[in-house]
Structure 1
């Protein structure tokens, strides 16, 4: 199973970030979320850290995030099972999607009001 990302449906509400952090820490702390939503002028781009995503190449465009330019290759890097783009803020441990447990119950998918995130078979 993987989480399919359809950035054309993302509304930028960031409820996925809230649900993920709440599931993993018991509190709302989006710095501990395994998903982040990058918001550009004309689109929103959910990015999940871990090997469980299915993201299409977005032809290496540039996204502005918190005043920094980020190339859209971040989607592929976040999907890489070896490298991590998110780290736990206090201890620097890499954050990777774990499907919110076993059996899989990804809260980001459950709480996405726009259905931009869906669970699919490999």
Structure 2
């Protein structure tokens, strides 16, 4: 067993009873992550999406989480207010089975970063913009196993897989756009 260290775990909790499906969180997130910042509000660039079933009156904000190379094998269904929904409907994982949470120009995955690129923010923009307090931001200190250092060879392997998948030109364009200050 390794050494334990304190880590701050940041979460956004969702109160489904309060959400009315206004999608303000989506628009604010997309605008915050636009290049330059606040220059547009394309919801396809948002790291949070509101899945809406207007007939059943169900609105579920979902944040982009981790990327997976393969489609999951979980095919459970959920029943909410008498209607059935697939597990994919409420999943925040970025996967090849759907285009949700992918950058529209490059197809690269988008992941919620809790708006940490602006250290002046006390909480993510989606939480600040939610007028119904459906979204709440929480930080909690937990003890976790100390992480191993990432070896340079592992980073090179990851970069090689991106180049193999998207090509050097596309990857260079994306890195250049990401490095521009917004």
For 1:89-114, what per-residue CA distance to the aligned partner results, in whole angstroms no more than 9, with x for missing partners?
A: 11001010001124363100000011
1:60 aligned residue:
77
Deviation at 1:73, TM superposition (A): 4.7
**Cα separation, 2, equivalents of 1:2 and 1:34:** 14
Deviation at 1:8, TM superposition (A): 1.6
2:178 aligned residue:
none
**Cα separation, 1, equivalents of 2:33 and 2:79:** 30
Q: 2:108 aligns with which of 74, 85, 93?
A: 93
Q: What aligned pairs does 1:99-114 form with structure 2 within 5 A after superposition?
A: 99-102=114-117, 103=119, 105-114=123-132
User: Does the 8 A contact of 2:51 with 2:89 survive in 1?
Assistant: no
2:14 aligned residue:
5
**Cα separation, 2, equivalents of 1:86 and 1:70:** 19
Partner-residue secondary structure (3-state), 1:93: coil
User: Does the 8 A contact of 1:21 with 1:28 survive in 2?
Assistant: yes
2:47 aligned residue:
34
**Cα separation, 1, equivalents of 2:89 and 2:115:** 22
Partner-residue secondary structure (3-state), 1:110: helix
Aligned length: 106
Q: 1:50 aligns with which of 58, 65, 80?
A: 65
Which structure has greater helix proportion?
Answer: 2
Deviation at 1:74, TM superposition (A): 4.2
Partner-residue secondary structure (3-state), 2:77: coil
What TM-score do you get using the length of structure 2 for normalisation? 0.51
Partner-residue secondary structure (3-state), 1:121: strand
Q: Higher relative CO (CA 8 A, sep ≥ 6), structure 1 or 2? A: 1
**Cα separation, 2, equivalents of 1:62 and 1:33:** 27
Structure 2, gaps ≥5 residues long: 1-9, 67-75, 141-182
Deviation at 1:43, TM superposition (A): 1.3
Tell me the C-alpha RMSD between the 2 structures: 2.5
